[in-house]
Amino acid sequence: MKKALFIFLSLAVIAVSCKKKKHNDDGQQQQTYECLPKTLNYTDHANASNNDQTVYKYEENRIKSKDRTFSDGTIYTYNYYYSDKSKGLLDRIDIIINGQVVAKILYTVQNDKTVERDLVVLANDNTTWLQAWEITYSYNGDKVSQVHIVDHDLWHQGANPTDETYVYTYTGDNVTDIKIYDTADMNTLKEEITYQYDQGKRAFDNVITQTFPKIRVNNVIHSEDNVYGNNPSTEIRDIEITYNNKNFPTKYDTKDDRNNLLDTETVEYDNCE
């Protein structure tokens, strides 16, 4: 559940840019982009080995690259390439370790919508590319209605591949319910996740890079994970969010239903005082 929630908090990096004008020495106007996330620090309070820091670089209000440094000192560099820069539509992201591209996220865009997002990784022979997972998006108008995810489980030599379908329900512009099924059995609910929101701006509100299709406009403050199947259970997570004076989040604290602090994510911005 914690992994699913953390991923969800990072979804939908898409918005209309916020900008103001200033002048160069020669009198010409140039655009200054406000409140672009510069540094994200993630802390797992139970396992420090999961901690990491991500530093972003931009071209105007598009992500150009990011460096993600893990607790063991390993640095992953992500370079972003666009099929349409003006709309933030991605073509691919190259993932680099020690100067070598070891993985790629590949995007398929149709009618200004991301319809497929695949991860390929470099095999041990350093020449063969393997399909790690495939994600396909279905839409109802402009909103994602279903997500089909095939995970080939390369991390465990393909021992436990999965094929799942996520069905989304919205309240306004925010996904408030996700039902998860094994794709081969759409009549049996496997898991359900519900979300509640505040009215705060998202950290990436002024970034147009579309790493995921848009599924929310506000910040998650509470989630409930209802697990079905052979081991029914309910897990509740509450997210306490701290905002700056421009209503951008600077800190997310995630707690369980016993008020134990699970993880913390802090955000630093450029030009957001």
Q: What is the pLDDT of residues 164-174, one digit of tens each?
A: 999 999 999 99
Give the whole-number percent of the chain exceeding pLDDT 90: 86
Tens of pLDDT, residues 198-228: 999 999 999 999 999 999 999 999 999 999 8
CA distances from 167 to 176, 220, 232 (A): 11, 18, 19
pLDDT at residue 230, rounded to an integer: 75
pLDDT at residue 105, rounded to an integer: 98
- Residues 154-170: b if buried by 16+ CB within 10 A, e if exposed: beeeeeeeeebbbbbee
Q: By the 8 A CB rule, do 136 and 147 touch? A: yes
Is residue 15 predicted with pLDDT exceeding 50?
Answer: no
Is residue 17 predicted with pLDDT exceeding 50?
Answer: no
Is residue 189 predicted with pLDDT exceeding 70?
Answer: yes
Cα–Cα distance for residue pair 221/202, rounded to 1 Å: 12
Is residue 31 predicted with pLDDT exceeding 80?
Answer: no
Beta bridge partners of 254: 239, 263
pLDDT at residue 26, rounded to an integer: 53
pLDDT at residue 219, rounded to an integer: 97
Sign of CA dihedral 179, 193, 111, 149: negative
Is residue 24 predicted with pLDDT exceeding 70?
Answer: no
Is residue 268 predicted with pLDDT exceeding 50?
Answer: yes
Is residue 185 predicted with pLDDT exceeding 60?
Answer: yes
Which token pair is 147? 């997500």
Per DSSP, the residues of 236-270 read EEEEEEEE-TTS-EEEEEEE-TT--EEEEEEEEEE
For the chain, domains (ranges, CATH) are: 2-24+31-270 (2.40.160.150)
pLDDT at residue 16, rounded to an integer: 33
pLDDT at residue 28, rounded to an integer: 52
pLDDT at residue 14, rounded to an integer: 32
Q: By the 8 A CB rule, do 161 and 138 touch? A: no
Q: What number is the average pLDDT over the span 28-54? A: 91
Is residue 264 predicted with pLDDT exceeding 80?
Answer: yes
Is residue 102 predicted with pLDDT exceeding 90?
Answer: yes
pLDDT at residue 229, rounded to an integer: 78
Please return the burial class of 14, using the count of CB atoms within 10 Å of its CB with bins 0-12, 13-18 and 19+.
buried
Sign of CA dihedral 199, 204, 207, 209: negative
Residue 231 binned pLDDT confidence (cut-offs 50, 70, 90): confident
Q: By the 8 A CB rule, do 88 and 210 touch? A: yes
Tens of pLDDT, residues 107-165: 999 999 999 999 999 999 999 999 999 999 999 999 999 999 999 999 999 999 999 99
Cα–Cα distance for residue pair 121/250, rounded to 1 Å: 33
pLDDT at residue 30, rounded to an integer: 64
pLDDT at residue 3, rounded to an integer: 43
Angle, CA 263 vertex, CA 35 and CA 146 arms, to 5°: 75
Phi-psi region of 88 (alpha: psi -120 to 50; beta: other; left: phi over 0): left
Per DSSP, the residues of 176-196 read EEEEEEETTBTTS--EEEEEE
